[in-house]
Amino acid sequence: MPVINYIEFDGSKYSVEVAEGANLMQGALDNMIEGIIAECGGCCVCCTCHCMIDPQWKDAAGSITSGEDELLEMLSERQDNSRLSCQVTVTASMEGMVVRLPESQY
């Protein structure tokens, strides 16, 4: 299982193993990382699993879908590296990935 590094807005860091095939949202929820709320349970309708993928991991995270892009447009804190963590499936190539969580989800 790849280790994913979640960094909360306050600087708290969590390095956790996430099963391949799971998504980044589920990895955070399974490890009780508070910066992911996930109100819709991963259905890609609410933006409460917003995260920022460190730029060097952009390719590993895969392409953003048009539906995800539309939802992210609603966020005032959207960045170039913003993603919905429910839409990023974990693969072996993500070993060591850094995922930052926004202040708005606390």
Q: What is the pLDDT of residues 75-94, one digit of tens each?
A: 999 999 999 999 999 999 99
Q: Which residues of the chain have pLDDT under 70?
A: none
Which CATH number goes with the domain that contains 39? 3.10.20.30
The amino acid sitting at 26 is Q
Q: How far is CA 76 from CA 14, 47, 54, 87, in A?
A: 26, 11, 19, 20
- DSSP sequence for 32-67: T-TT---TTSSSSSS-TTEEEE-GGGHHHH-PPPHH
- Its domain, for residue 12, covers 3-105
Q: Rounded distance, CA 68 to CA 54, Å? A: 18
Total domain count, the chain? 1
* Nearest C-alpha neighbor of 97 from the set 63, 66, 53: 53
pLDDT at 104 (0 to 100): 86
pTM for this prediction: 0.94
Distance CA 99, CA 70 (A): 21
pLDDT attached to residue 105: 82
Note the pLDDT of residue 61. Answer: 98
